[in-house]
Structure 1
């Protein structure tokens, strides 16, 4: 017991001594400790959240001890960037692949079963009844060659017919001999056996039945001694050098099914072997039970590896392909709300990149995915261990910022390479889109339907905003020609500095993320002497070559409103200039020198212009020599300046439709007539009573009422009918 007390006393003495040393070094003499403590601690950070930093030790919101970050260890990269050493890259097995342009086509994936090629299948019947005396083929699966004897059959019909043939042959009557030969052929006897009878001069007791083709026996009803009748299928043969594969195409894929597709077939038990086939027939009717469309394929089976009823996986590949950017499918990281890849940004550095994918796996040799947006050709992505890198990147919350919404759209600028007004797709060569982590590249964006695009032309510089839709694609929410103005602010010029800068007290500028502040702003192409002080102004900011924002224009706030009003008016004029109007009418006269035509036209509903005769200028593209005078035709007008209508095109109208009818009433004020007419078979209109527009060439007061007439009708561009003339009974008789 005394030994235990002695040991405890020694331990207590040692602990007291160590505590005294610790107190002296860390509390009484901290300077010496700091001088010998190694690298300086810059801050303390949470192990699971690099954005949680403190100036002193403590715990993170997750209850974990903060770890120190020493001088030289701080990261100057984007928070989402992950840096790995060569040893770490090797340890976790990082492999990369390059985004590349590939030929892709949307493949149809399905399954099918092998079957006999019925075009290469024969069924053997006899044409006379009899008994099998000798059966050569003994079982299903036996191989035969064309011309081999399948069986011999005793038949009284054959015996009597062959005896008669021998008799006629001895008589030497050639005409009767040929008739006898045809009789034997009609009984199913081959020319080969007929020649044997004629060579030997003896009567044939049995009928020899030969194989009509090479193949294998797939059905055998015949047996030794069996009584055969013509309705009995004795033997079935097929050639297995080619087989059918019946596949089922789902309803969703029928629209893409064509008869020029190439089929690639794989069977589990034939590992590594791919059989190529062609579409032989697309059946006209869906299977009511499976809701699939049967499609028949022809597959070469010269090696006899494919057996009927075998199950195979089939890829139907279109012959037409398109080129698109692709990456290995395994490189795509899919989450509930987005898709991304891990991009190799440098030696040992990686960062996430938000992408939008298209076709996946079902093209080419498989294993690759189409990238619709987010990558440029040649960029290097991680194809293995990307989930480890992605989880490390997500700790820095670097991925969450890459999803632009309507509230915070991603903004960019670039050159409009092409715009398709039908599909409303704009191809833009843009610079870096920092908010989504995209580099400079060419990207196709869909443009919202309510965005005006009348002023967009290929080759111009544009600025745009994009947001991400529910389908994952970025689409353009705003787009306009880029005049170089990055942002516009409102503020008061308080002073002009000695070096020519404007001291601005401005309101917040959301486009740049600037709060309200007072700052000295450089100017460009602006005379600062003429800028009024102490007046609220609107100013334009542009980015110079050094990446700094400079003031390029100032104006009073009320003047900016007037400028905006003028811009709105200009946009309205441009919008009106894009419209064209189609109406029926007649060219009455043409002044070639002035390029002007006198035209009588119907009502132009789009502008509310009534029917009238007036002069119109001709568009430069109109050939005066081809303009017919005095002919009812379809006229197209445009307003190049947004106001003045000019004749842009003419289309000679079809001959009027003749129909019998009666004019009941005429209203000259509205230019219409109430007419009861018979059927217009040319356009499928039944007989009826209704109001019709009168052509300007028709004099309303001269129209006869209540008489049976031949009415001349034409169709307006909007498919309504118009009365262009009448023929009375007297005129018809004359």
Structure 2
């Protein structure tokens, strides 16, 4: 009997380690599965689409990966007060106010053709001396442009001298006076100045070489001849452009034209001279669209004292629009915009911030109207919003715009 009791005790003792080992193994397996469910993941701060289960570097940019909770559904970010100060995170209570906006149009400065001069040869001959040999040179009124050798001009000069000599022989004869006047008029029409005609009379000698002068000042935009070249009557010599007054042209879409009138005043800002805005009246609205586009143009003129601006410079044209009252407005930088949408950050409690989708309306240089997503009294982040946006992507590996859209569906 005692022997049987002893055998039973020994069997029980042998069974205890097996049960303990099985329990430990089960507990370890359970702990392993729990650890597997909470496995740490890593992402790239610059490329949140990169997600790995172990620490490493980004295959795109080579940056070190950082940990994040990809399965976290918490929308809010926790930023303590000290970090808020360091990140310069400030908020305002959104409220209704008036908003006056202006539509910005892409424009440019162009040459005013009314200030251009086309100089052509008045008479046939050879360019003996070309005083201006390159474009871009500034020319003053009365400046010598070229010297021409012309046998035809020499013949006209001789005709004028003979007419004067005959008039002296028949003083008081009306016909002789008319012949002198006609001969002089020919010289003037062929480009001789009054001073050159007087010098001819004084010298009493024809001269086949004649210098032609600029009828007005400007910048040489085109040079059509070379020294030694023969030209015919009417051949182009050069083109001068005046830059003391330029045109401002701006592109306009069809739905914008209806709000524009001739004589309307607009603000023009030249790129690089933002501190010198100009008020320009609209002088012309192009009645047709540009070839291959759905754009028309408006035009005005702008003074250019001293020629500080050159044709081709970019100009921003601002069309004023009516002022809207009782509109929820925010500073422009408070709204985060990307290809996924627009959102702002709302402060919830002392250290909590949440993204919220919004829709915007009209805006100007400093303010934007909010048409949906916010209500009067919301506490909105106005500085540091981009830092919160980056922090959200860094910690959660998600774009807040995408996440908010999914949650709203």
For normalisation by structure 1, the TM-score amounts to 0.36
Q: How does 1:222-371 map to 2 (within 5 A)?
A: 222-259=225-262, 260-267=264-271, 270=272, 276=278, 278=280, 279-302=282-305, 304=307, 306-308=309-311, 310=312, 312=314, 314-324=315-325, 325=327, 326-332=329-335, 341-342=344-345, 356-360=359-363, 363=364, 366-371=365-370
Q: How does 1:394-409 map to 2 (within 5 A)?
A: none
For 1:159 and 1:255, locate their aligned partners in 2 and report how far apart those are by CA, in whole Å.
62
For 1:304 and 1:200, locate their aligned partners in 2 and report how far apart those are by CA, in whole Å.
42
For 1:320 and 1:247, locate their aligned partners in 2 and report how far apart those are by CA, in whole Å.
17
Q: What's the counterpart of residue 384 of structure 1?
A: 383
Q: How does 1:181-220 map to 2 (within 5 A)?
A: 181-220=184-223
Write out per-residue CA displacement over residues 417-462 of structure 1, whole angstroms, 9 at most, x where no aligned residue: xxxxxxxxxxxxxxxxxxxxxxxxxxxxxxxxxxxxxxxxxxxxxx
Cα deviation for residue 133 of structure 1 reads 1.9
Among 103, 107, 126, the residue aligned to 1:107: 103
1:153 aligns with 2:148: yes
8 Å contact from structure 1 (residues 261, 317) kept in 2: no
Return closer, same or farther for 1:219/1:82 CA change in 2, 3 Å cut-off: closer
For 1:97 and 1:266, locate their aligned partners in 2 and report how far apart those are by CA, in whole Å.
34
Structure 2 residue matching 1:180: 3-state secondary structure: helix
8 Å contact from structure 2 (residues 265, 279) kept in 1: no
8 Å contact from structure 1 (residues 343, 351) kept in 2: yes
Structure 2 residue matching 1:330: 3-state secondary structure: helix
Structure 1 residue matching 2:236: 3-state secondary structure: coil
Cα deviation for residue 132 of structure 1 reads 1.8
Return closer, same or farther for 1:167/1:144 CA change in 2, 3 Å cut-off: same
Write out per-residue CA displacement over residues 534-565 of structure 1, whole angstroms, 9 at most, x where no aligned residue: xxxxxxxxxxxxxxxxxxxxxxxxxxxxxxxx
Structure 2 residue matching 1:217: 3-state secondary structure: strand
8 Å contact from structure 1 (residues 97, 328) kept in 2: no
Cα deviation for residue 380 of structure 1 reads 6.1
For 1:277 and 1:200, locate their aligned partners in 2 and report how far apart those are by CA, in whole Å.
56
Cα deviation for residue 105 of structure 1 reads 2.9
Q: How does 1:382-461 map to 2 (within 5 A)?
A: 382-386=381-385, 388=388
Structure 2 residue matching 1:159: 3-state secondary structure: helix
8 Å contact from structure 1 (residues 215, 238) kept in 2: yes
For 2:234 and 2:341, locate their aligned partners in 1 and report how far apart those are by CA, in whole Å.
68
8 Å contact from structure 2 (residues 105, 250) kept in 1: no
Q: What's the counterpart of residue 68 of structure 2?
A: none
For 1:237 and 1:174, locate their aligned partners in 2 and report how far apart those are by CA, in whole Å.
38
For 1:197 and 1:319, locate their aligned partners in 2 and report how far apart those are by CA, in whole Å.
62
Q: What are the ranges of 5 or more consecutive residues in structure 1 without an aligned counterpart?
A: 1-58, 65-79, 404-734
Q: What are the ranges of 5 or more consecutive residues in structure 2 without an aligned counterpart?
A: 1-33, 40-74, 169-175
Write out per-residue CA displacement over residues 320-378 of structure 1, whole angstroms, 9 at most, x where no aligned residue: 54145432122125699996644569987878788652114xx3xx24312346555x9
Cα deviation for residue 274 of structure 1 reads 6.3
Among 177, 182, 187, the residue aligned to 1:179: 182
8 Å contact from structure 1 (residues 116, 244) kept in 2: yes
Cα deviation for residue 237 of structure 1 reads 1.0
Return closer, same or farther for 1:177/1:334 CA change in 2, 3 Å cut-off: closer
Structure 2 residue matching 1:240: 3-state secondary structure: coil
Q: How does 1:632-671 map to 2 (within 5 A)?
A: none
Q: What's the counterpart of residue 119 of structure 1?
A: 114
Return closer, same or farther for 1:98/1:148 CA change in 2, 3 Å cut-off: farther
Q: How does 1:7-22 map to 2 (within 5 A)?
A: none
Which one has a bigger Cα radius of gyration? Answer: 1
For 2:217 and 2:210, locate their aligned partners in 1 and report how far apart those are by CA, in whole Å.
21
How many residue pairs align between the two structures?
314
For 1:111 and 1:225, locate their aligned partners in 2 and report how far apart those are by CA, in whole Å.
43
For 1:204 and 1:63, locate their aligned partners in 2 and report how far apart those are by CA, in whole Å.
104
Write out per-residue CA displacement over residues 259-316 of structure 1, whole angstroms, 9 at most, x where no aligned residue: 425253554xx486766474443222112313322444534444545444x463x433
Task: Give the aligned CA root-mean-square deviation in angstroms.
Answer: 4.3
For 2:331 and 2:358, locate their aligned partners in 1 and report how far apart those are by CA, in whole Å.
13
Higher helix share: 2
Among 123, 130, 138, the residue aligned to 1:128: 123
Write out per-residue CA displacement over residues 122-179 of structure 1, whole angstroms, 9 at most, x where no aligned residue: 1111222112222211222222100111112122332222223233334255444333
For 1:161 and 1:330, locate their aligned partners in 2 and report how far apart those are by CA, in whole Å.
76
Q: How does 1:58-137 map to 2 (within 5 A)?
A: 86-96=81-91, 101=97, 104-110=100-106, 112=108, 114-137=109-132
For 1:116 and 1:315, locate their aligned partners in 2 and report how far apart those are by CA, in whole Å.
17
For 1:129 and 1:158, locate their aligned partners in 2 and report how far apart those are by CA, in whole Å.
8
For 1:303 and 1:323, locate their aligned partners in 2 and report how far apart those are by CA, in whole Å.
40
Return closer, same or farther for 1:145/1:379 CA change in 2, 3 Å cut-off: farther
Cα deviation for residue 236 of structure 1 reads 1.0
Higher strand share: 1
Q: Which has the higher contact order (CA 8 A, sep 6+)?
A: 2
8 Å contact from structure 1 (residues 93, 385) kept in 2: yes
Return closer, same or farther for 1:167/1:375 CA change in 2, 3 Å cut-off: farther
Q: How does 1:683-702 map to 2 (within 5 A)?
A: none
8 Å contact from structure 1 (residues 82, 349) kept in 2: yes
Among 154, 162, 177, the residue aligned to 1:167: 162
Structure 1 residue matching 2:368: 3-state secondary structure: strand
8 Å contact from structure 1 (residues 277, 300) kept in 2: no
For 1:63 and 1:265, locate their aligned partners in 2 and report how far apart those are by CA, in whole Å.
57
For 2:339 and 2:149, locate their aligned partners in 1 and report how far apart those are by CA, in whole Å.
79
For 1:241 and 1:370, locate their aligned partners in 2 and report how far apart those are by CA, in whole Å.
41
Q: How does 1:562-573 map to 2 (within 5 A)?
A: none
Q: What's the counterpart of residue 625 of structure 1?
A: none
Write out per-residue CA displacement over residues 188-221 of structure 1, whole angstroms, 9 at most, x where no aligned residue: 2222322333444443433331112211211112
